[in-house]
Structure 1
Amino acid sequence: MGQRTRKGEFSWVGSGEKYLDHLKPGTFENMVIGRYGGNSLAGADKNEDGLFILIGPGGTWEFSMLLDAHNTAESAELLIRTVKHISSEIEQCLSRPIHVAFKDLETLLLTTLGSDDFRSQCKEVTGETACLICVRKENYLWWFSVGDNSVYLLHPELAARGQYLLNQRNYYEWIGYVNTFDQPVACFSSGVRELRKGRNVIVMTTDGLLEYGRLEQGRQTFEDPGKLYQAFYNEKNLQSCVEAAILEVHEAQGRDSATVIAWSYYNEHAAVMPSDANK
């Protein structure tokens, strides 16, 4: 389930559909979405994750926002309403040439989230959310992160050098009642990566996929990015990969909700630096 408000747009918040004790697998356009509310035997009783996706005309780009709120889902709901409100402006940014598209998008987001109106609305919600936004346009991937959600760029050439995770998970950063944009200097991370030639897999996840089970039992498999790569970058259908990963969390009695957005993109452009340049 979830909400398709118009063509190329999809949103969902866990306060409406919790998915306790079971995975809700699905797809939207070329995106695979996995939603899981946690194992009730471990004490799970709510889901405060959320997501918002925009797909460009003809699949020319993907914009994906992943949210992990706490105390209530109100902050996630606010972020989705806010980003929906500027969705036409997001589309305008991403329709521009690649050398300005990401810069213009980041300016739009910082202006919106730092505005007096948005910060005032944040004071009316209970709780806060981590916010991760990831955009693929042409052979580049851009991300913007507040908090501890994770995005991985998976490709064999990168894996050979132990490179998987794009962003650093940052704790004590939120958007909501406690709001990084209320500080004298807002704290966030952003960046751009060139995709390698061939099949690239992008995986975005909340911490419920990473932190579950007991370390002494050898669980928490996906905190090891190499094992996450093995689970998501193979010849199986990507939806099957997402389902298998979340099933492992459920069987290990993961208490926290876990939301995953994953998609593949085949890049036909040669990377600037060939893979054997440093050999």
Structure 2
Amino acid sequence: MVVKKLSWVGSKKHFVDEISVMKVGEDVVLGRFGGNSTSGQYKNEDGCLIWCDDNQDWEFVILLDAHFSAESAELVISTIEKNEKRFLDIFTLPINSLFKSLNRLVLGIFQSESFIQECENVQGETACLLVFRKDNYLWWFSIGDCLLLLQHPELEKLGEYQQNHRSFYEWVGKESTFNKDVPCYSTGVKELRTGENHIFMTTDGLVECPNAPYNYAKDIYRMLHGIASCEIGVRKLLEDIQSNNVRDSTTIVSWVIQNNKEATIPSDLK
């Protein structure tokens, strides 16, 4: 198995006043903008980890939005990287057992005594969104307020864009909701529709930018609709928030999956 990888935290390079758009593997586009210094920005506490199978069988992405410092994002990325073999072994499992095993692994890591102790020694906390795609299924594990969108014409007709919900006061880190008796998170699995499915992840700088029309997931979809490539679309979004003097940093991960399998439809429409 050949895996193409990228990991980054804003403490390494902050991209303040700078837009970066690049590809990881064949399909996944990563866009980063650290915010405008003229609006008071001077640091970036976002982070991400991207692993892509060289045969394009799967993609695994973690998006992080920390506050107070980037230490919590650094801790999550380093912890996942230490467990790389465990994740890659699960990614080879049959699809009907893979996602249950993936849930157990993530919960086991975040609830482990060693990880909780390490969280006590960092400054600040991070929202954390894990997304994995294999075959015609999309899985996510969401802590906090990063966003996952799935864009397809059949879903748009019914007003469905966002897959997870933004959940506030959930984090991993110093004040972790995984330090409590019961961890707080949401998770789900979505069958991709037949045809072209656009997977889109973002931190909240995009949707909270003043004067930019991206408060709602459908507005992001409408801007991206008809754009020639993910790279062009991601750059356009970042340029828009830059021109609207956004202070908060924004990190976007975007890619398109062509699903040739027949998706589930109501029996009366068959």
Map 1:243-254 onto structure 2 (within 5 A): 243-254=235-246
Q: 2:185 maps to what in 1?
A: 188
Q: 2:176 maps to what in 1?
A: 179
Aligned counterpart for 1:25 among listed residues 5, 21, 27: 21
Q: 1:216 maps to what in 2?
A: none
Q: 1:269 maps to what in 2?
A: 261
1:227 CA displacement = 1.3
- 1:16–1:230 CA distance, 2 compared to 1 (3 A): same
Mean CA deviation greater in 169-178 or 48-57: 48-57
State whether structure 2 residue 117 is matched by structure 1 residue 125.
no
Q: 1:200 maps to what in 2?
A: 197
Q: 1:79 maps to what in 2?
A: 76
Cα distance in 1 between the residues matched to 2:62 and 2:138: 14
Q: 1:241 maps to what in 2?
A: 233
Cα distance in 2 between the residues matched to 1:15 and 1:91: 27
Q: Secondary structure at the match of 2:189?
A: strand
Structure 2 letter corresponding to 1:113: F
Q: 1:257 maps to what in 2?
A: 249
Q: 1:167 maps to what in 2?
A: 164
1:131-150 residue CA offsets vs partner (Å, 9 max, x unmatched):
00111100000000000000
Cα distance in 1 between the residues matched to 2:212 and 2:251: 15
Cα distance in 2 between the residues matched to 1:96 and 1:7: 16
1:10 CA displacement = 0.9
1:59-82 residue CA offsets vs partner (Å, 9 max, x unmatched):
111000000000000000000000
Q: 1:114 maps to what in 2?
A: 111
Q: 2:221 maps to what in 1?
A: 229
Conserved? CA contact 1:67–1:131, under 8 Å: yes
Q: Secondary structure at the match of 2:103?
A: helix
Q: 1:3 maps to what in 2?
A: none
Conserved? CA contact 2:24–2:52, under 8 Å: no
Give aligned-pair identity as a percent: 41
1:217-270 residue CA offsets vs partner (Å, 9 max, x unmatched):
xx2311122111112232411100000001000000000000000000000001
Conserved? CA contact 1:65–1:134, under 8 Å: yes
Cα distance in 2 between the residues matched to 1:19 and 1:172: 26
Conserved? CA contact 1:131–1:174, under 8 Å: yes
Map 1:143-158 onto structure 2 (within 5 A): 143-158=140-155
Mean CA deviation greater in 268-277 or 184-193: 268-277
- 1:176–1:275 CA distance, 2 compared to 1 (3 A): farther
Q: 1:11 maps to what in 2?
A: 7
Alignment size in residue pairs:
268
Conserved? CA contact 2:22–2:30, under 8 Å: yes
Structure 2 letter corresponding to 1:190: T
- 1:235–1:255 CA distance, 2 compared to 1 (3 A): closer
Conserved? CA contact 2:50–2:59, under 8 Å: yes
1:88-133 residue CA offsets vs partner (Å, 9 max, x unmatched):
1111111101011111011001001100000000000000000001
**RMSD, matched Cα:** 1.5
Structure 2 letter corresponding to 1:88: K
Q: 1:49 maps to what in 2?
A: 46
The TM-score with structure 1 as length reference comes to 0.93
1:41 CA displacement = 0.9
